[in-house]
Structure 1
Amino acid sequence: MKPVPAAASGTPEPVRESPVLQEWLIDLPPTGSAGGLARIHTRTCLTVLGWDGSIGAATEITDRLVRNALVHGCPRTRQVMDIRLRLALTEGRQLLIEVSDSNPAFPDFGEAVLGRKGRGLWEVHRLGGSISWFLPHHANGKTVRALLGPAPCSGSSD
């Protein structure tokens, strides 16, 4: 799994004040093994990066987003489901976790984030993820994004 330059992916820059420095992409199988693979990939990438946020929370958020894609990501009109995970580190040390699937619909997004329609996105929010979704211009389907900040600095009083 090799880092991809941000411009090569064709995805819109999500944070203008903090450009993406590095990103990793992985296509996941539309099977029950996708969550485990995503967790391993997330832990590995964030450890290599030395990201100073909560790797545990980021891994759990990734798992929740991938599980949601498995359950809700295949529209009735398609037989094949595609799931892609993108992890991107911004210049401001923010982490973008994006999971794309084949279904462009996302009914009741706001209700899902509030925990009124399922628990997955509510858990993502509870773990500190700022959640949004969009329709990418370069592919069919949708992308659900969680943005996590780095760990707060723990200042010492000398």
Structure 2
Amino acid sequence: MAVSESQWKEPGGPAAATAQPGPWPGATGRPVVGPPPRLSAQTPTARPPTPAAAYGAWQGALRPPMFKVSQPRPTYREPLPVRGQSVAIGGAAGAAWMLLFGLLMNGSARSYVWTSLVAGFLAWGAAAILARFGDRGAAVGVAAASGVAVAIAGILVAYRLAGGDWLLW
């Protein structure tokens, strides 16, 4: 089926200029969405409409940024990262420390509990110093190992207390 020249409309020709604006460029006919209301010339915030406003696009209060952002969001890097290897080394050191103090007891449950408490508090102090001035991974390992050892001593105290014997006095 051939199209005659009278039926053919060039997209940028005179027929397109006289046609009613449509919902997108080059469309003719009644627009689906009307253009937004324009500000009057008397208002101090009057500005020329954007090209998208001619086609009924929403002109929100937000404007696009004036600069190009190279990254979508900022990247933060931990200055002193905690590595798994240093946590394991700290845990081994803390376990060895607690074992050394556990071997120093004279064989009674009371001396084991007291030496574990003293060693645990010393280890937590060392972990605090390591966390502030040294390797934070090692501090985590030392604190975890000494915490487990002090918890074991606490379980021993609770077990003996259930039997009617208070170990700490």
TM-score range, shorter chain: under 0.3
Work out which of the two has the higher radius of gyration on C-alpha atoms and give 1 or 2.
2
Compare the two structures and name the one with the higher helix fraction. Answer: 2
Structure number with higher strand proportion: 1
TM-score (norm 1): 0.25
Higher relative contact order (CA 8 A, sep 6+): 1
